[in-house]
């Protein structure tokens, strides 16, 4: 029997979703039991692990992602190395849940984005768009012995979409409500908001990047600790500083915040050059490192408010926070200060804040093998629904 036919005929599937985000902090793996397909998809999360990258892996991701570093040897070998790390993350989530790897039916792997160019760049005299996620799926497939779906973004990009965001499709399946509009604010390296209008169809969904999530905070902490700490654990450093109104208004005078959706952002805008300018400004104002962290944390929350206030044609009735930023109590406090709606954690709904994106790729993979379209053209800008993902058997 064709391996995909066997999968399609099974009542429920054990699917692992893999995600490595712009923070380059680690490889996340979520295991879920998925039943049904399309709008009838049911998902039961079973476990989650995040394998932290050693410093040299993280540094290599940031180096290769900078756009002008790394040759074909680096890209080739790193692609296979990330495939190995992806396989390790799969095995780790199996161990954690007591499920044997032979029982896994399917894996959906996002991989690590190294370059994302949704707007045409001039290349060899032609306008070219593209996106590149690494982590060779064949390595996972060989190691686990089950089909692996990978390389999701390219299909949406080819259909003239931005290739992002992809999580809203899964969010629609999991979080939609008939009687209230739900806002899902993910706070990874970048912050992104999805709004599911009450009783809406998939095409009523809208989503965009709100601005930096943890990216600026992480860089400040890494600088002030000489690389000892990668992030502001439990928001403690920000909690010990004072918010500088002067620096905050400088940060809020930001072209990205004025730009209407669809819009996406990343390390190109809020990376090293931005943090250089920010620290120079902070020094001129006589601020301490903790004040800088406090102000950057407040800025992340202020970006979420700006998104809610300026660019939501349907205002969400509540905001559910996901991503690693949900572990930062100072940031949560600032969000609750600023937003006029309840700010809740995924845990209150029985989900895991950190597992959410990885679960989304398990769902997208399941939809792919069932031949269901799994992009949301209203959020990616694609000209039509497509089935994203390439299947390794
Ligand atoms: N206990 C914590 N306290 C504060 N911040 C945290 C904590 N745990 C995770 N984070 C933040 O979450 C980030 C990782 O979030 P994640 O959702 O994995 O982002 P990405 O999708 O960009 O990889 C870390 O870089 C860090 O800034
Ligand atoms: Mg991460």
pLDDT tens-place string over residues 264-312 = 898 889 999 999 999 999 999 999 999 999 999 999 999 999 999 999 9
Confidence band (pLDDT; 50, 70, 90) for 73?
very high
* Residue 63 confidence class, pLDDT cut points 50, 70, 90: very high
pLDDT of residue 1: 87
Tokens at residue 305, please? 């408010």
Residue among 48, 324, 360 whose CB has most ligand 1 atoms within 8 A, to mutate? 324
Distance between CA atoms of 36 and 56, rounded to whole angstroms?
41
Pocket of ligand 1 (CB under 6 A): 21-23, 25, 188-189, 214, 218, 231-235, 323-325, 327-328
Confidence band, pLDDT 50/70/90 cuts, at residue 359: very high
**Domains of the chain, CATH where assigned:** 3-166+354-392 (3.30.420.40), 169-349 (3.30.420.40)
Give per-residue burial for 163-189: e unless 16+ CB within 10 Å, then b.
Answer: bbbbbbbbbbbbbbeeeebbbbbbbbb
Mean pLDDT of the chain: 96
- Ligand that comes closest to the CA of residue 355: 1
pLDDT band at 262 (very low <50, low <70, confident <90, very high): confident
Q: What percent of the chain has pLDDT over 70?
A: 100
Q: How far is the CA of 114 from the centre of ligand 2 (A)?
A: 14
- The reported pTM is 0.94
Percent of the chain with pLDDT over 90: 95
50 is written with which tokens?
């995040």
Model pLDDT for residues 309-324, shown as the tens digit of each residue = 999 999 999 999 999 9
What is the arithmetic mean of pLDDT over 158-177? 96
Which residue, by CA, sits nearest to atom 26 of ligand 1?
A: 231
Ligand 1 atom nearest to CA at 323: 17
- Gap from CA of 188 to ligand 2 centroid (Å): 7
Instruction: Ligand 1, residue 186: give the atom nearest the CA.
Output: 17
Phi, psi dihedrals of residue 373, rounded to the nearest 5°: -60, 135
Average pLDDT over residues 359-384: 97
């Amino acid at each position: 029997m064709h391996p995909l036919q066997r999968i399609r005929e099974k009542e429920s599937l054990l699917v692992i979703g893999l995600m490595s985000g712009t923070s380059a902090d680690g490889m996340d793996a979520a295991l879920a039991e998925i039943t049904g397909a399309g709008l009838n998809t049911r998902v039961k999360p079973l476990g989650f692990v995040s394998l932290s990258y050693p410093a040299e892996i993280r540094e290599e991701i940031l180096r290769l992602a900078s756009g002008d570093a790394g040759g074909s040897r680096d890209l080739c070998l790193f692609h296979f190395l990330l495939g190995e790390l992806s396989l390790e993350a799969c095995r780790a989530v199996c161990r954690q849940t007591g499920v044997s790897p032979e029982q896994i039916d399917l894996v959906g792997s996002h991989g690590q984005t190294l370059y994302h160019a949704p707007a045409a760049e001039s290349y060899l005299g032609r306008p070219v768009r593209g996106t590149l996620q690494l982590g060779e799926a064949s390595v996972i497939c060989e190691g686990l012995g089950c089909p692996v779906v990978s390389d999701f973004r390219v299909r949406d990009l080819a259909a003239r979409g931005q290739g992002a965001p992809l999580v809203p499709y899964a969010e629609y399946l999991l979080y939609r409500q008939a009687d209230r509009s739900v806002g899902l604010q993910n706070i990874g390296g970048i912050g992104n908001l999805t709004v599911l209008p009450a009783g809406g169809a998939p095409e009523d969904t809208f989503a965009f990047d709100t601005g930096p999530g943890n990216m600026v905070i992480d860089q400040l902490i890494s600088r002030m600790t000489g690389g000892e700490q990668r992030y502001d654990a439990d928001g403690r450093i920000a909690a010990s500083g004072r918010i500088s109104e002067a620096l905050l208004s400088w940060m809020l005078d930001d072209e990205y915040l004025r730009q209407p959706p669809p819009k996406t952002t990343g390390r190109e805008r809020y990376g090293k050059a931005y943090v250089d300018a920010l620290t120079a400004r902070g020094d001129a104002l006589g601020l301490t490192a903790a004040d800088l962290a406090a102000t950057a944390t407040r800025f992340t929350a202020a970006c979420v408010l700006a998104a809610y206030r300026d660019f939501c044609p349907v205002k969400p009735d509540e905001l559910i926070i996901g991503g690693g930023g949900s572990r930062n109590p100072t940031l949560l406090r600032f969000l609750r200060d600023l937003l006029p709606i309840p700010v809740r954690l995924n845990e209150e709904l029985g989900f895991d804040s950190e597992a959410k994106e990885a679960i989304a790729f398990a769902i997208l993979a399941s939809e792919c093998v069932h031949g269901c379209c799994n992009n949301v053209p209203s959020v990616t800008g694609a000209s039509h629904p497509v089935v994203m993902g390439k299947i390794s058997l």
